[in-house]
Structure 1
Amino acid sequence: MRIAVDARFTRTDQHDGISRYGASLIEALAENGGSAEKAQVLMLISDERQLALLPDLPWIKLNSPLSPAELLVAFRVNRLGADVVVSPMQTMGSWGRKYPLILTLHDLIYYSNPTPPGFLPLPVRALWRLYHLAYWPQRRLLNRADVVATISETTRSLMARHRLTKRPVRIVGNAPQPGTTVRNPAQAPEKTLLYMGSFMPYKNVETVVRGMAHLPGYTLHLLSRISPDRRRDLGALVPDGSEVVFHNGVSEEEYAELLRSATALVTLSRAEGYGLPMIEAMAAGTPVVASDIPIFREVSGGAALLTDPDSPEAFAAAVRELSEPDRWRRISEAGLRRAAEYSWETSAAQLLDAAAEAVRLFGERRPASR
């Protein structure tokens, strides 16, 4: 099967969640995804710098997915001869398409948290807010596909609740990076806590910072890039005597090294599509303290310490549980077992099944559209 994968949301410097998801799926697909028949993968990019974060596979350059030319991108994709086209986002242009299409919806976060990502151009951010005022635009987008993919049962149930699509919805899961180095369980953890993720309001980093008032001797490392204004606002919340370090971005190697020594990765997000840092930490043997929300219950499978996201005191109490060596070891081992249940090979196999279904459904519908 010849699969064209839209890789135009790949970053040019360092992966974010969508970028890593797409690149990891592409690599796993090319390695056959557990299928007897190896997939032929064609990557669709918009900037040749994206190739630095993508596998060495055939590619073709298209317009930016944020360009007005996206409205007509299907006419270019039609000429590629793909058996099926897969997008790790739901926004890929499809007007005039002559190929089976899989679109991906990761989450519904922006309906309850409408602040758009800061990297988007101002006009796109304005449209983003308008788009998320009602569900009907999302329905229009998703119903253009033959199959819709999502990354969790939590999101799939929300899609069903809001009747977002008439198309089949299939799980194509996220997973930790293969070859993650597992920490030495005999080495006592340092009294450090790690946060990896954006600083958007729904991430609720404020409660984590306030919780440091109840964790003397611990250091909180905020690893991700942060704007000067946001850093100033969070810095003003740091309790007297608490140690909070703003890294403003770390390399993959630095992140892995910090994971292998920390007491825990922490996140009190009020909403997530998946929560990749959680599974990354568990794959390294590092316990996770997280908010008690449906997606974290699903992803952790009982292998994380879940707590009230509105209570700095409850957050701190969960961290203090890990000061007991036996408790820390049991949570670490449970996380390793849970993380082993996720793999990109499984995700690629799920995508190949979805692709075969999309081809079949497209073939059934096509005669009716002639």
Structure 2
Amino acid sequence: MRLFFDARYIRTDFHDGISRYSAELAAAVHEAAADRGVEVTYLIHDEAQRPLLPEGAQTLAMSAPTSWREPFAARLLNRFAPDVVFSPMQTLGSRGRRYRLILTLHDTIYYRHRTPPRDLPAPIRLGWRLFHLSYVPQRITLNAADVVATVSETSRRQFADVSLTKRPVVVIPNAPQRLAALLPGGRADVKTDGPVRNLVYMGSFMPYKNVETLVRAMRLLPGRTLHLLSRITPARRAELQALAGEGAVVFHNGVTDAAYAAALADRAVLASTSLDEGYGLPLAEALALGVPAVVTDMEIFHEVAGDGAVYVDPHDEKAVAAAVTSLDDDAVRAGVIAAGAAHIARFSWERSADALLDTVTTLARG
């Protein structure tokens, strides 16, 4: 049984969400495939992607997913006679295919917030906006597959709410990276004793992320520091700095994964007052590290964290401050951490790989 895994979304500079999902799932599939009787070939478009795949992985080079050739990708893939092709995105050309196809749509957030990733070429950004003006283009795209994959039960429900596809939808969950491995002493380096000293935010500064509430809350949390880890423009930084007043806010403007892990490990909580999320990977990563969280009370965060977070109204900085303060209590903090660790243990790349390979096997035999 031959599976082609589209690994062209793995970045060679730093991982974004799709890149990390692709790389971690690819590695887990590589480990499990042989025992399932599946031969895997990874599609790449850049030789620099090859070292980022598992050692010994079989690859096939083709054009980039942003190429004008993408709508005609099936013509190339047909020549190699795969049984099933899996893509971690939904844009792989399918016209004329002679194989089973799994396309992935991670979430529907870009229908609510249509700003495309800034690193895409201008024509693709324009096409992105036009594509998301209506559900019709997405329906046509997804219905060209045999199965649609997504990363959460929340997304699967949202697809059903708007009748996004006629195809079966399978959940191949996202999972946290192992941040503890990046600390010199592993989990032993995670300090959770005593009062919370740091709030850690990892994410963009787009309007719907609502970082403003976190910044305002710092005025009510003297003696504690908010660490904004992601890259930020000078203009946006100036806006938030002015909003902070006397609150302690540190702008890191991008950090390594090791620095991210170290920030979470230092008597911290993971904090987010986002108004909308497709998944919330930083939340999962914090829980897996044994760090509590204070986050918006919304469906996807409950799916990811269970009882491993304190949930707040994202517009209420007083509620955020009270939630952080509540975690100063040793018993409360220990209970939240234990609940989070138990809940997030259900998400692993090994289980996600099994879900994908189960789907591949069913399709190939069907």
Which range, TM-score by smaller chain? over 0.9
Mapped pair 1:354 → 2:354: no
Q: Mean alpha-carbon deviation: is it higher for 151-160 or for 196-205? A: 196-205
* Structure-2 residue corresponding to 1:368: none
* Structure-2 residue corresponding to 1:159: 159
Q: CA separation in 1, counterparts of 2:232 and 2:340?
A: 29
Letter in 1 for 2:125: R
* Structure-2 residue corresponding to 1:85: 85
User: SS of the residue aligned with 2:99?
Assistant: coil
Contact 1:6–1:45 (CA under 8 A) maintained in structure 2: yes
Q: CA separation in 1, counterparts of 2:196 and 2:293?
A: 14
**Bigger RCO (CA 8 Å, 6+ sep):** 1
Deviation of 1:50 (Å): 2.6
Mapped pair 1:203 → 2:203: no
* Structure-2 residue corresponding to 1:174: 174
User: Per-residue displacement from partner, 1:27-77 (whole Å, max 9, x unpaired)?
Assistant: 1111116x8425322111122223343322122221111111111111112
Q: CA separation in 1, counterparts of 2:197 and 2:358?
A: 45
* Structure-2 residue corresponding to 1:367: none
User: Gaps spanning 5+ residues in structure 1: where?
Assistant: 362-370
Deviation of 1:133 (Å): 0.9
Contact 1:182–1:283 (CA under 8 A) maintained in structure 2: no
Q: CA separation in 2, counterparts of 1:285 and 1:124?
A: 40
User: Per-residue displacement from partner, 1:250-290 (whole Å, max 9, x unpaired)?
Assistant: 11111112221132001112222211111110011000111
Deviation of 1:100 (Å): 0.8
Q: CA separation in 2, counterparts of 1:14 and 1:52?
A: 14
User: SS of the residue aligned with 1:133?
Assistant: coil
Which aligned runs of 4 or more in structure 1 are off by greater than 6 angstroms?
Answer: none
Contact 2:196–2:327 (CA under 8 A) maintained in structure 1: no
Q: CA separation in 2, counterparts of 1:246 and 1:286?
A: 21
Mapping of residues 1-370 of structure 1, within 5 Å? 1-32=1-32, 36-56=35-55, 57-178=57-178, 180=180, 181-183=186-188, 184=190, 187-188=193-194, 191-238=197-244, 240-360=245-365
User: Gaps spanning 5+ residues in structure 2: where?
Assistant: 181-185
TM-score of the superposed pair, with normalisation by structure 2: 0.93
Q: Mean alpha-carbon deviation: is it higher for 225-234 or for 240-249? A: 225-234
Q: CA separation in 1, counterparts of 2:18 and 2:192?
A: 35
Rate the CA distance shift 1:313–1:179 in 2: closer, same or farther, 3 A. closer
User: SS of the residue aligned with 2:36?
Assistant: coil
Deviation of 1:230 (Å): 2.7
Q: Considering only aligned residues, what root-mean-square deviation do their CA atoms show, in Å?
A: 1.8
Q: Mean alpha-carbon deviation: is it higher for 49-58 or for 244-253? A: 49-58
Deviation of 1:245 (Å): 1.2
Q: CA separation in 2, counterparts of 1:251 and 1:222?
A: 13
Contact 1:189–1:261 (CA under 8 A) maintained in structure 2: no
Q: Mean alpha-carbon deviation: is it higher for 161-170 or for 316-325? A: 316-325
The percent of aligned pairs where both chains have the same amino acid is: 51
Q: CA separation in 1, counterparts of 2:192 and 2:229?
A: 26
